[in-house]
Amino acid sequence: MHKIFQSNRYCINLLQQLKGVRHPQFTDRGNNQKSYFMKILIIANRLPVKIERTDDSFIVKRSEGGLATGLGSLEIDAEMHWVGWPGIHVENEDEKREITEKLAALNYHPVFLTGEEIETYYEGYSNSTIWPLCHYFFSYVQYKAEYWEAYRRVNGLFCEEALNFIDDNDIVWIHDYQLMLLPKKIRDNRPNVMIGYFHHIPFPSYELFRVLPEREEVLKGLLGADLIGFHTHDYMRHFISAVYRVLDLNCNLDEICLQDRIVHVDAFPMGINYEQYHQATSLPEVKKISKRLIEELGDQTIILSVDRLDYSKGILHRLEGFANFLENHPEYHKKVSLAMIVVPSRDAVERYADLKTQIDQSIGKINGIYSTLGWTPVYYFYQSFPFNELVALYDIADIALVTPLRDGMNLVAKEYLATKNRKPGVLILSEMAGAANELTDAIIINPNDTQEIESALLQALTMPGKEQRLRLRNMQKRISTQTVRKWANDFIAELLHINRQNNEIFQKIVGEQQLSQIKERYDQATARLILLDYDGTLSPFTKRPEEALPSGKLLHLLKRMTADKKNKVVINSGRNRQVLDKWFRGIDLDFAAEHGAFFKENNRWYRNVQEKITWDEEILGILEHTIDKTPRSYLEIKESTLVWHYRNVDVWLAELREKQLINALMGPASRLNLQIVPGNKIVEIKPPETNKGSEVKRLLEKGNYDFILAIGDDTTDEEMFRALPPDGISVKVGSFSPTAKYRIPVQSSVIPFFENLIK
Ligand SMILES: O=P(O)(O)OC[C@H]1O[C@H](O[C@H]2O[C@H](CO)[C@@H](O)[C@H](O)[C@H]2O)[C@H](O)[C@@H](O)[C@@H]1O
Ligand SMILES: O=c1ccn([C@@H]2O[C@H](COP(=O)(O)OP(=O)(O)O)[C@@H](O)[C@H]2O)c(=O)[nH]1
C-alpha cells in the first residue's frame, strides 16, 4: 500500500535534518567561541542604571533588574555592551558628556532623549499607542502622527548609537515594544550580524493588531531579526498570524520565510534569579525587616499585592474583589489586611494619572467603611521598595494576590513563590498573566470576575498547610529550573543555531559564482537534460491557475533552448496534457503531465497510468464537503488526479481544512490505493505509481546525459531533485529545499538565469 504524506513545510524538514546533525550549545563550541562573535550588544529602552543628580555632578548606580541579572549570567565568553536611555532628562552637552563617560566605564552607551521625545516616543507611541493595544485596552489607544514620527526617529537614534559598537559576527539582542523598528534598521546597516528581539509584553490577536495604521512597518521592522521571542506560545501565535495576514508572507509554523533568510519565532518564558530570592530570607537584614513587620502587624493574615501603577494590572478590580470579600465575610474583619504596593510609573501619561486618583478613592472608601481603631483593611504604599524590604514582604505575606487584566509575564508572582522558604503561602494569579501558563498550581482566576477574586481569597484563607506546601513545591520546582539565566542562555543558543542554519542554507543561492560554475558545465556538455517545472518556476503563481499563461519572453527562451540540438528540454508539470499542448504549441519540447502520469516524446503522448479513473463517490463527497465549508477553494479534476486548490483562502482556514481533508481522505485513499500529496496551496489525490521523480528515472534510463539540471518550486519537485544522479544540478525556486543544491529566491530571476546560461 502506497500512502505518502509529503510535507510542504520545507523549512521544518530542513530544520529537523539540521537538528539531527548538530544543535550547537555553548559547550559544543569548545575554545572557539571568540571566532563566532566578539560582542553581545543589548539594546533596551532603559539602561540598567539609576542616575542621581548631586549638586555639581551625577552618581551612576547599577540597578540589577531581572534582565541584567539574566544577561550577566550568560554562559558565553563575550564582551557585553548595553545601549539605552539613561532614564534621566539632560539637555546640557557637558552634562551629557559626563554621564556618557561614566557609563562607558560599565560598557553602557546612553541614548539621550529630549523632553519632546520622552513625551512623544516614550509616553506617546510606546505607552499611549502600543502598550494599550498590546494589553487589549483598545479604547485607550491614541493615534497621533507626531507620536509615530517620534517613534521612528527615536528608533533611528538608538540605531545610530548602536552602530558605533556593532561589528560583523556580533550578537545584537533588542528588547521590547519601544524598539520594534530597530531590528530592520540594524539589519539594513549591518546585514551580517545576528539579531534577536524579545517582546516582553503580550502580542495581541490579529483582530486587534490590524487596527494599527503602521502595522506593516512595525512587522517589517521586527522581521529584521533572526529570532523573535515571546513569553508564551499564544503571543507567538498571534504574531505569526499578523505576519501572514498583513505581509502575506510564507509562514511555516514557527518560521517566516523571507527571500534571503528564515526568521524564527519561539516562546521563551522569562524566569527570575531563583536562588537570590530563595536564599534571601536568611539574610540578616531581611530577617530584621520581617521580624519588625510581624511585630507591627500582629497575627493578622496578610494579602500582598505588588505592581507598577498600570491599568493593565487590574488594581481596581482587585480592590473591588477585596471590598466584596469584606462585605460578605465579616468574620474576617480585623483578621485580614491587604498590603498594596503600587510603584509610581508613567505618571505623565493621562490614563496613569487618572488611575492613581481612582485607586486613592477606592482605597479611601474601603478604609473609610471598614477601618477600626486597631485595624486597617488596606495598607497602601505608593512607592518603590528596595530588594530587602520587598522580599521581607514576600516572606511574611500569607497570600499574594496578582490580578492583571493582561500582563506579558508578571515576575512578581514568581518572586513571591521563590522567596517562600521559611513558611508557605498561597498565590492567587490571573489567567491573563503570561506566568499563569507555567504556574498552574496557583489559584487561577479571571480578574474581570470580582466574585471569583472573592472566592479565591476564601479558598486561599482556608487552604490547609499541607496543600499549600504541595502546590508551592510544584511551582518552585518549575521556577527553580526555568530561571532568568536559562532564559537568556536558551535565547542566545537558539539565535546561534539559527544563524548557522541560515548560513548553510544561503550558501546555495545562485549568485555570479554559482552561475559561472553551472555555465562552465553547461558549455562543456554534449548531451543535456533540462527538466523544468512550470507553475511558480517558469510562470509566476496567479490567483487563478488558468491565468498563468507563458509570457512571450518565456516562449522565446524555450525556442532558443530547444533550438540547440544538444538539449533535451522537458516540462515536468502537474498540469494536464491539454493545457501543455495548447500553451506550448510549435515549440520542440517534451512534457510530463499530471506528475508523470503522462509523457510526450517526439510529438506523441504516452500514459504511465491506467485508463481515465472513475472517482470514488466517497472521495468526491469529502472534497465537495470541504469546498462547501471553504469559500474560494475549488476542485480540479484531471485525467488521473483530483486537486483541491486553496490559494485564495485565508491561511488559517486553509490550514485547518487541509488537515481535516487529509484526515478524512486517509481511509478511502488507503482502501483505493491512492496517494495524498499536499503541495503548494493544493492537496492532490493521485495514483501512487508516478510522480515527478518517476518521470526523471524513466528519462535517465533511456538517455545518456553529461549535464542534467532540474528546477522547480514545489514540494512535488523534491521527487524530481531526489531522482537526479549525484552530479545532477537541482535548483529550488523560492524558499528552502532540503534536497536541492542551489536556490533562486524569486521566480522572476528564473528566465534571466537561463538566458545567462545559454548565452
Ligand atoms: O520602563 P517603564 O515604562 O517604567 O516600564 C517598566 C517595564 O514594564 C514592562 O515590563 C514587562 O516585562 C516584564 C519582564 O519581561 C514582564 O514580566 C511584564 O509582564 C511586562 O509588562 C515593559 O515591557 C518594559 O519594557 C518596561 O521597562
Ligand atoms: O517596590 C518594588 C516593586 C516591584 N519591584 C520589581 O519590579 C518588577 C516588576 O516586574 P513585573 O514583571 O511583575 O511587571 P512590570 O512592571 O515589568 O510590568 C519585579 O521584578 C519586582 O521585584 C521592585 O523592585 N520594587
DSSP letter string over 359-400? HHHHHHHHHHHH-BTTB-SEEEEES---HHHHHHHHHH-SEE
CA distances from 362 to 193, 326, 365, 457 (A): 51, 14, 5, 19
Q: Which ligand is nearest to the CA of 390?
A: 2
Side-chain half-sphere exposure of 254, counting CA atoms within 13 A? 21
To test the ligand 1 pocket, which listed residue (200, 307, 402) has its Cβ within 8 A of the most ligand atoms? 200
Find the 355 Cα to ligand 2 centroid distance in Å. 18
- Ligand 1 atom at minimum distance from 270 CA: 15
Q: In this structure, are residues 2 and 672 in contact, taking their beta carbons and an 8 Å threshold?
A: no
CB of 385 sitting under 6 A from ligand 2: yes
> End-to-end distance of the chain based on CA atoms, in angstroms?
47
User: Strand 682-686 to strand 642-645: parallel, antiparallel, or no bridges (unpaired)?
Assistant: antiparallel
Catalytic residue among 254, 533, 714, 717: 533
Instruction: Give residue ranges with CB within 6 A of ligand 1.
Output: 45-46, 176, 200-201, 270, 345-346, 407-411
Q: Which ligand is nearest to the CA of 48?
A: 1
To test the ligand 2 pocket, which listed residue (274, 341, 343) has its Cβ within 8 A of the most ligand atoms? 343
Task: Give the pLDDT of residue 64.
Answer: 67
Find the 699 Cα to ligand 2 centroid distance in Å. 68
Find the 420 Cα to ligand 1 centroid distance in Å. 24
Domains of the chain: 4-21+38-267 (3.40.50.2000), 274-482 (3.40.50.2000), 509-608+690-758 (3.40.50.1000), 617-686 (3.30.70)
Q: In this structure, are residues 532 and 709 in contact, taking their beta carbons and an 8 Å threshold?
A: no
**Which of 1 and 651 is assigned the larger pLDDT?**
651
Task: Give the pLDDT of residue 66.
Answer: 67
CA torsion 477-481-487-493 (nearest 10°) is -140
User: Strand 682-686 to strand 675-679: parallel, antiparallel, or no bridges (unpaired)?
Assistant: antiparallel
pLDDT at residue 652 greater than cutoff 60 = yes
- Ligand 1 atom at minimum distance from 407 CA: 19
- Ligand 1 atom at minimum distance from 433 CA: 19
Confidence of residue 527 (pLDDT cuts 50, 70, 90): very high
Find the 200 Cα to ligand 1 centroid distance in Å. 6
User: In this structure, what DSSP letter does residue 575 have?
Assistant: S
Task: Give the pLDDT of residue 31.
Answer: 37
Beta strands in 399-520 (DSSP E): 399-402, 426-430, 443-445
CB of 410 sitting under 6 A from ligand 2: yes
Q: How far apart are CA 740 and CA 729, in angstroms?
A: 8
Per residue in 547-570, pLDDT (tens digit) is: 999 999 999 999 999 999 999 999
Task: Give the pLDDT of residue 14.
Answer: 24
- Chain-centre distance for alpha carbon 337: 42
Q: How far apart are CA 719 and CA 272, in angstroms?
A: 49
Per residue in 69-78, pLDDT (tens digit) is: 777 777 777 8
Confidence of residue 601 (pLDDT cuts 50, 70, 90): very high
- Ligand 1 atom at minimum distance from 345 CA: 4
Per residue in 5-60, pLDDT (tens digit) is: 222 222 222 222 222 222 233 333 333 343 445 899 999 999 999 899 998 899 99
Find the 232 Cα to ligand 1 centroid distance in Å. 15
To test the ligand 2 pocket, which listed residue (383, 390, 427) has its Cβ within 8 A of the most ligand atoms? 390
- Mean pLDDT within 187-206: 96
Q: In this structure, are residues 733 and 750 in contact, taking their beta carbons and an 8 Å threshold?
A: yes
Closest CA to 167 of 193, 140, 146: 193
Find the 460 Cα to ligand 1 centroid distance in Å. 28
Task: Give the pLDDT of residue 507.
Answer: 64
Ligand 1 atom 13 nearest Cα: 200
Per residue in 155-174, pLDDT (tens digit) is: 999 999 999 999 988 999 99
Find the 46 Cα to ligand 1 centroid distance in Å. 10
Ligand 1 atom 11 nearest Cα: 200
Q: How far apart are CA 513 and CA 755, in angstroms?
A: 16
CA torsion 434-438-441-446 (nearest 10°) is 20
Residue owning grid cell 485513499: 669
- Ligand 2 atom at minimum distance from 407 CA: 18
| Window from 137-146, 193-202, 678-687 with minimum mean pLDDT | 678-687
How many CB atoms lie under 10 A from the CB of residue 283? Answer: 15
Instruction: Give percent above pLDDT 70 in the chain.
Output: 94
- Ligand 2 atom at minimum distance from 308 CA: 16
C-alpha cell at 723: 531522482
Catalytic: 260? no
Alpha helices in 200-283 (DSSP H): 206-209, 215-222, 233-242, 274-278
Q: In this structure, are residues 562 and 589 in contact, taking their beta carbons and an 8 Å threshold?
A: yes
Q: How far apart are CA 58 and CA 53, in angstroms?
A: 5
- Chain-centre distance for alpha carbon 566: 49
Q: Which ligand is nearest to the CA of 135?
A: 1
169: left (phi over 0), alpha (psi -120 to 50) or beta: left
To test the ligand 1 pocket, which listed residue (133, 134, 176, 268) has its Cβ within 8 A of the most ligand atoms? 176
Q: Which ligand is nearest to the CA of 392?
A: 2
**Long-range CB pairs of 465-468, under 8 A, 24+ apart, other chains included:** 465/424, 468/424, 468/425, 468/426
Q: How far apart are CA 349 and CA 128, in angstroms?
A: 7
- Please name every residue paired with 306 in a beta bridge, in sequence order, or none if there are none: 341
Find the 262 Cα to ligand 2 centroid distance in Å. 35
Residue owning grid cell 545601549: 83
Q: How far apart are CA 341 and CA 580, in angstroms?
A: 74
Q: Mean pLDDT score of the chain, rounded to an integer?
A: 91
What interface predicted TM-score (ipTM) does this complex get? Answer: 0.97
**DSSP string spanning 611-678?**
SSPPPPHHHHHHHHHHHHHSTT-EEEE-SS-EEEE-TTS-HHHHHHHHHHHHHHHHHHHHHTT-EEEE
CA dihedral (460, 464, 465, 466) positive or negative? negative
Task: Give the pLDDT of residue 639.
Answer: 87
CB of 170 sitting under 6 A from ligand 2: no
pLDDT at residue 235 greater than cutoff 60 = yes
Residues 6+ apart with CB under 8 A from 181: 151, 152, 155, 217, 218, 221
User: Strand 194-199 to strand 171-175: parallel, antiparallel, or no bridges (unpaired)?
Assistant: parallel
**DSSP string spanning 269-290?**
-----HHHHHTGGGSHHHHHHH
